[in-house]
């Protein structure tokens, strides 16, 4: 079973960490370029529409990162 090979397992973990870091960095960049704080608007003001948009953004960026990692 190739999936239990330590090199493949370590590579998968490294790519997963890189993907999560890129996802969060992209959220921080988008948060900086918007005129208000996204996280505060979602959590404190309970802005459901913004939460849906940010969720869609996470899905889209996640697909981009996965495609870039996969090749």
pLDDT at 45: 93
* CA gap 39, 14 in Å, rounded: 27
Identify the band that residue 3 occupies on the pLDDT scale cut at 50, 70 and 90: low
pLDDT at 49: 94
pLDDT at 13: 86
pLDDT at 47: 93
Could you tell me the two tokens for 48?
Answer: 């459901």
* Across 18-47, average pLDDT: 89
Alpha-carbon torsion (1, 17, 55, 69), positive or negative: negative
Nearest-5° Cα angle at 26, 20 to 30: 150
Nearest to 58 by CA among 18, 14, 16, 28: 28
């Amino acid at each position: 079973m190739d999936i239990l090979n330590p090199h493949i397992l370590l590579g998968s973990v490294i790519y997963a960490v890189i993907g999560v870091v890129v996802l969060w960095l992209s959220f921080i960049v988008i948060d900086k370029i918007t005129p208000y704080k996204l996280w505060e608007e979602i959590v404190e003001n309970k802005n459901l529409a913004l939460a849906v948009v940010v969720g869609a953004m996470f899905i889209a960026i996640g697909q981009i990162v996965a495609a870039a990692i996969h090749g």
